[in-house]
Amino acid sequence: MEGLTLSDAEQKYYSDLFSYCDIESTKKVASNGRVVELFRAAQLPNEVVLQIMELCGATRLGYFGRSQFYIALKLVAVAQSGLPLRVESINTVKDLPLPRFGASKNEQESRHTTSYSSDTENQGSYSGVIPPPPGRVQVKKGSVSHDAVQPRTSTDQQESTSPVVSPQQSPPTSPHTWRKHNRHPSGGNNERSLAGPGPFWSPFSEAQTGSSAGDAVWSGHSPPPPQENWVSFADTPPTSTLLAMHPASVQDQTTVRTVASATTANEIRRQSSSYDDPWKITDEQRQYYVNQFKTIQPDLNGFIPGSAAKEFFTKSKLPILELSHIWELSDFDKDGALTLDEFCAAFHLVVARKNGYDLPEKLPESLMPKLIDLEDSADVGDQSGEVGYSGSPAEAPPSKSPSMPSLNQTWPELNQSSEQWETFSERSSSSQTLTQFDSNIAPADPDTAIVHPVPIRMTPSKIHMQEMELKRTGSDHTNPTSPLLVKPSDLSEENKINSSVKFVSGNTVADGYSSSDSFTSDPEQIGNAVTRQRSHSGTSPDNTAPPPPPPRPHPSHSRSSSLDMNRTFPVTTGQQQAGVVAHPPAVPPRPQPSQVPGPHVHRPVDAEGLITHTSTSPQQIPEQPNFADFSQFEVFAASNVNEEPDDEAEKHPEVLQVEKSSDPSGSLRVAKTDGRIEEKTAASAPANVGKSTTPLAPPPKPIRRRLKSEDELRPEVDEHSQKTGVLAAVLSSQPSIPRSVGKDKKAIQASIRRNKETNTVLARLNSELQQQLKDVLEERISLEVQLEQLRPFSHL
């Protein structure tokens, strides 16, 4: 053996190792367990180890003398560097990193950290060097050179506690050890403040910033425990590039990376010791994740395909089962690809798992991908899911599409609703209620088909509603009333499809415009208000309103429904005196432009007439719950001086019409109650209704409420939205009409009672018919089954 020249670091390291192995202090180490374990921990193939032993002469001697041991260690370093084992390489290879011994070192370090106090004899000499327990090791480590590490290792070696090979360290502790060792290499990274379980990123980032010397030290002293090969993403470009800094070869890279990862893990752990939200991703972590994402997918808005992600995360050496679970958690839209947010969430979960945190059953909110703005991926701090929540309403279909994430974001809150959604869709597709809608709705309702997918939406977004409002105002009055029609049927089926009804109604209202029913924008608005209020009330059942759903609007209720009004109107027309009042029978009164907001321009002209009507009703409001709207009528009435009967008459027809149009009585009632409260409290709201400047949202609501109350008054009258518009106008400009109210009140009440009775009768009839229809359909299905049975294999 030629002379072995060792650097100082190597000298120290080797001497420590020798001392460690030389348990008998005989200055020569036999091939005992320690040595064998040490060499095994070097993670070299057996043949290499044998070759090393032969080269160093131990085989010849039968034991490891100090020189042989040193040579062996040097050869181990050579082998780990990937260089061929040659005797000459002992001295020729310069700048060889210290041999890395995974298990042993790990054990030593872990033991060292865990049983810090157990360092006895060496502590005196090394304690000064050994940084304090895994706390801010970095600081010291930064300044510590190999000496700190080596003394520690020697200290560890002196600790004859646990065997060399038994990396049973719990994740928290092992990172600590690494942290200490890796501190100085990652001096630059000390300032990193990683919160939360984000160990991974530090390996990479540290790898990026660590110096070659640091790497060497890492490699020498902080082999990660076999089980905790952190971010041994072997192919990670940043680490590989960094590792290339020192002469370490590919093999070293792997180990160093693992070491680095351990270091960073330690770092992260250290810094993340105090965090309130364990799943929060810090800025640095996120930046790291983003960088990693870029390595796979340069486009930050693009996707990482599943296969690439699989390779990437497999490098983390987590069990496939856990990786599978992480994938399930993080792939929000279930598209088999990871967006940047999903990738960060997955990475974060992997890091957490590596750190020992159990995987959650559900994706934590802070990890939910921000579905609305993928461009916000750069927003490091914005990790909460609320962003998604705000945007989620805008997304409708819960299909496996990009829009799904928005829905998913609402999952934590609406997890239940996701079930409901599913149920809805299934119900809607499988139940017969929707078909009933079709049959019940006036002909030419192709939109009902559209209704099916729409119900998926939980709550119509405000934006959507407003859009609809706009649409409605600008659209014909022939806009679909089917949604409204649907509502009544829905209500009749409430017990079964309560929530789906909401969706349907909401959606249908939102779609609004598909059916060709006579319902004008007002009914739609009513429906809108209804749905909106429904959404406001969450999934509260529509059963709050005692009266059964009003019967579907008569088939005759089409555009010509106004004619019906004529029929009914004569009853009240007589009382009308104002010319304007006479209009409503023929055509829904047009609300005065001044009184009606822009959207309600379509309102019938005789809004004023309505106003007069409504003016009479205000007093009745307190008397009957249905009259809540009349407070608005008061406002309306204030603007007109029509006689009360006229007002009533007009109101009633309008109410009835509205009722029929918007019908889901339950929902209406709910909305009514809401409206009532609002109306009573906000008399100014109706006033605002009249103003065109008012926003779309508020005006419709009061209008609707008014309509609802009117609906209750006249169930059989189904006129249109124009009435509602008129009512709105009326309500807004209603003055209080004190006198002659008593008479009208009674008349109104009587008519209300009558209408209610009619309402209930019709509703009952409706439900019975629907039941019959269901039965018939079931029979049909059974017959079909029998038919199929009769010709079992006819298609053979």
**How many residues belong to the site for another protein (CB under 8 A)?**
36
The three-point CA angle 104-105-106 to 5° equals 90
Q: In the set 335, 373, 467, 623, which binds another protein (CB under 8 A)? A: 335
Beta carbons within 8 Å of 280's beta carbon, 6+ residues apart: 195, 196, 366, 383
**Residues numbered 107-126 forming contacts with another protein, rule: CB under 8 A:** none
Q: How far is the CB of 405 from another protein (least distance, A)?
A: 14
Q: How far is the CB of 363 from another protein (least distance, A)?
A: 11
CB nearer to another protein: give 375 or 784.
784
Q: How far is the CB of 394 from another protein (least distance, A)?
A: 23
Q: In the set 323, 387, 638, 713, which binds another protein (CB under 8 A)? A: 323
Do residues 564 and 719 touch, judged by C-beta distance below 8 A?
Answer: yes
Q: How far is the CB of 302 from another protein (least distance, A)?
A: 16
Count Cα atoms within 13 angstroms, Cβ side, for 626: 28
Which helix H or strand E contains 304, and what residues bound it? Answer: strand 304-305
Q: How far is the CB of 655 from another protein (least distance, A)?
A: 38
CB nearer to another protein: give 47 or 796.
796
Q: How far is the CB of 720 from another protein (least distance, A)?
A: 36
Beta carbons within 8 Å of 38's beta carbon, 6+ residues apart: 17, 20, 21, 101, 104, 164
Q: In the set 250, 320, 463, 783, which binds another protein (CB under 8 A)? A: 320
426 binds another protein (CB under 8 A): yes
CA distance 641 to 578: 9
Q: How far is the CB of 774 from another protein (least distance, A)?
A: 11
Q: How far is the CB of 371 from another protein (least distance, A)?
A: 17
Side chain identity at residue 612, one-letter code: T
CB nearer to another protein: give 26 or 314.
314
788 binds another protein (CB under 8 A): yes
Q: How far is the CB of 74 from another protein (least distance, A)?
A: 42
- Write each residue from 287 to 306 as x if it is in contact with another protein (CB under 8 A), else as -, in one continuous string: -------------------x
CB nearer to another protein: give 308 or 641.
308
**Residues numbered 755-784 forming contacts with another protein, rule: CB under 8 A:** 781, 784
CA distance 522 to 505: 15
CB nearer to another protein: give 328 or 382.
328
The structure tokens listed for 785 are: 């089954």
Q: In the set 13, 64, 327, 411, which binds another protein (CB under 8 A)? A: 327
CB nearer to another protein: give 350 or 621.
350
Give the residue from 300, 291, 230 showing the smallest Cα distance to 265. 230
CB nearer to another protein: give 325 or 691.
325
> By three-state DSSP, how is residue 768 classified?
helix
88 binds another protein (CB under 8 A): no
Q: How far is the CB of 306 from another protein (least distance, A)?
A: 3
CA distance 214 to 218: 6
Q: How far is the CB of 668 from another protein (least distance, A)?
A: 30
401 binds another protein (CB under 8 A): no
Q: How far is the CB of 101 from another protein (least distance, A)?
A: 32
Q: In the set 294, 334, 536, 743, which binds another protein (CB under 8 A)? A: 334
CA distance 589 to 607: 5
CA distance 63 to 31: 6
**Which range, of 3-11, 68-76, 175-183, 334-342, touches another protein by CB under 8 A?**
334-342
Q: How far is the CB of 528 from another protein (least distance, A)?
A: 30
Side chain identity at residue 495, one-letter code: N
Based on its alpha-carbon atoms, the radius of gyration of the chain, rounded to whole angstroms, reads 39
User: H/E/C letters for each residue in 31-94?
Assistant: CCHHHHHHHHHCCCCHHHHHHHHHHHCHHHHCEEEHHHHHHHHHHHHHHHCCCCCCCCHHHHCC
Count Cα atoms within 13 angstroms, Cβ side, for 516: 7
CB nearer to another protein: give 431 or 640.
431
**Residues numbered 445-484 forming contacts with another protein, rule: CB under 8 A:** none
324 binds another protein (CB under 8 A): yes
Beta carbons within 8 Å of 516's beta carbon, 6+ residues apart: 442, 444, 445, 478, 480, 558
Do residues 152 and 181 touch, judged by C-beta distance below 8 A?
Answer: yes
Q: How far is the CB of 789 from another protein (least distance, A)?
A: 4
CB nearer to another protein: give 94 or 795.
795
CB nearer to another protein: give 8 or 419.
419
Q: How far is the CB of 318 from another protein (least distance, A)?
A: 10
Give the residue from 496, 465, 495 showing the smallest Cα distance to 483. 465
CB nearer to another protein: give 25 or 789.
789
Q: In the set 430, 543, 684, 740, which binds another protein (CB under 8 A)? A: 430
716 binds another protein (CB under 8 A): no
Q: In the set 8, 121, 191, 328, which binds another protein (CB under 8 A)? A: 328
Q: List phi, psi (to 5°) of 530.
A: -60, -50
CB nearer to another protein: give 329 or 580.
329
795 binds another protein (CB under 8 A): yes
CB nearer to another protein: give 331 or 712.
331
Helices (H), 81-198: 89-92, 102-114, 121-126, 137-143, 146-158, 173-183
**Which range, of 327-335, 474-482, 700-708, 710-718, touches another protein by CB under 8 A?**
327-335
Question: Phi-psi region for residue 6, left (φ > 0), alpha (ψ -120 to 50) or beta?
Answer: beta
Do residues 215 and 295 touch, judged by C-beta distance below 8 A?
Answer: no
Q: In the set 80, 174, 219, 431, which binds another protein (CB under 8 A)? A: 431
Q: DSSP string of 269-288?
A: HHHTTS-S-TTPPPHHHHHH
**Which range, of 88-96, 331-339, 401-409, 519-527, touches another protein by CB under 8 A?**
331-339
Beta carbons within 8 Å of 390's beta carbon, 6+ residues apart: 372
Give the residue from 288, 245, 253 showing the smallest Cα distance to 268. 288
CB nearer to another protein: give 311 or 768.
311
CA distance 568 to 618: 22
Q: How far is the CB of 203 from another protein (least distance, A)?
A: 22
Q: In the set 422, 476, 768, 775, which binds another protein (CB under 8 A)? A: 422
Question: Phi-psi region for residue 744, left (φ > 0), alpha (ψ -120 to 50) or beta?
Answer: alpha
697-736 residues labelled b (16+ CB within 10 A) or e (exposed): ebbbbbbbbbbbbbbbbbbbbbbbbbbbbbbbbbbbbbbe
Give the residue from 155, 161, 147 showing the smallest Cα distance to 120. 155
Q: How far is the CB of 504 from another protein (least distance, A)?
A: 17
CB nearer to another protein: give 35 or 329.
329
DSSP tag of 576: -
CB nearer to another protein: give 304 or 607.
304
- Write each residue from 350 to 369 as x if it is in contact with another protein (CB under 8 A), else as -, in one continuous string: -----------x--------
Q: In the set 132, 336, 579, 738, which binds another protein (CB under 8 A)? A: 336
Binding region for another protein (CB under 8 A): 306-307, 309-310, 313-314, 320-321, 323-325, 327-328, 331, 334-336, 361, 400, 419, 422-423, 426-427, 430-431, 781, 784-786, 788-789, 792-793, 795-796
